[in-house]
Amino acid sequence: MTLQTKADTSLTPTSTEPLRIGTRGSPLALAQAHELRARLMVAHDLSEDCFAIDVISTAGDRIQDRALNELGGKGLFTEEIEDRLLSGDLDLAVHSSKDMPTVLPDGLELSTILLREDPTDAFLSHKADSLEKLPLGAVVGSASLRRQAMIKHLRPDLKLVNLRGNIETRIRKLADGEVDATLLAAAGLNRLGLAHHITTRLAVDTFLPAAGQGAVCVEVCSNAAAIKSFLAPIHHRETGLCLLAERAFLRELDGSCRTPIAAFAMMEDDVMAFRGMVLSTDGQESYEVTRTLAAPDETTAVDLGTQAGKSIRAQAGDEFLSAIANSLLVLETR
């Protein structure tokens, strides 16, 4: 059962009635749940036993022999957890922001965003020190349509295979020679203490990240006022504003795992700089947009992302967007 609250405005978890945190069971998902718990322990001066981490298996975790774009997209990593939230079995859920669908189930919302980690993509290889220096026809493994399209855009000669599994599994497959290189989120490697495997980080101005990459988000029931109040001290405002812009961009373009879309916003001196991109699955056609916004708030951040998406739609045309959304890039799975 979820926590009982006083007048639904405050709560104090205890060892007998802990705050129930839902998460996937991968090492990275657990690391993120532990980070969230640690931040809440410090913010509220509570002990570890005031929190219970519930591991939930999702379809995206169980099905490893097919590409995500063949299976239906990002909801595969969230549906079972969201069902438990709505049923009251969980108080909140912690996710990688880049895995979240742009439209959430009725009654749920993202209330809290943690300080963003390194947003870049990391290049891992034992054959070359950069993507550009890989041998002609080298095999690169990636499960991300965005990464596949951007790799093809930069190096159309490379052979791409669909590399599924958690971070450790992909590193092992690289070490075993199943692929010559792979790309992973630098944030995940950092959180797991695996940054020593990184050959080089890809600069965001040449290899644009996925929307939300590096940011951890917390999902709650929309009517859970006490839970949202409890989480408020650990919310990172600037990361939250950037995520609003990036997700609005995705939403305007109907972004999912079926569409190679990249988006990244950053704040400096209270000015948001935003860049978004959409590519064809073969990487040979792409459209970009940049925007800046001074002193953003939640409303203007969403509007920036929405308008950026409309700009891309005007450039590319609905026919192009529909074509890439309905296409499947079928790759050998490893």
Residues with a known catalytic role: 99
Helix 237-252 × helix 298-316 angle, to 10°: 30
Distance of alpha carbon 161 from alpha carbon 333, whole angstroms: 6
Q: How far is CA 173 from CA 127, 165, 168, 170, 231, in A?
A: 14, 10, 9, 5, 38
What type of residue sits at position 118? D
Distance of alpha carbon 11 from alpha carbon 8, whole angstroms: 8
Q: Alpha helices, DSSP H only, in 45-144?
A: 59-62, 68-71, 79-87
Residue with tokens 């490379």: 158
Q: The dihedral of CA 135, 138, 143, 144: what is its sign?
A: positive
Q: What is the DSSP string of 212-240?
A: TTT-EEEEEETT-HHHHHHHGGG--HHHH
* Interior angle at CA 322, CA 76 and CA 211, nearest 5: 50
Which of 213, 296, 297 lies closest to 250 in space, CA to CA? 213
* Interior angle at CA 119, CA 117 and CA 124, nearest 5: 105
φ/ψ of 119, rounded to 5, equals -85, -5
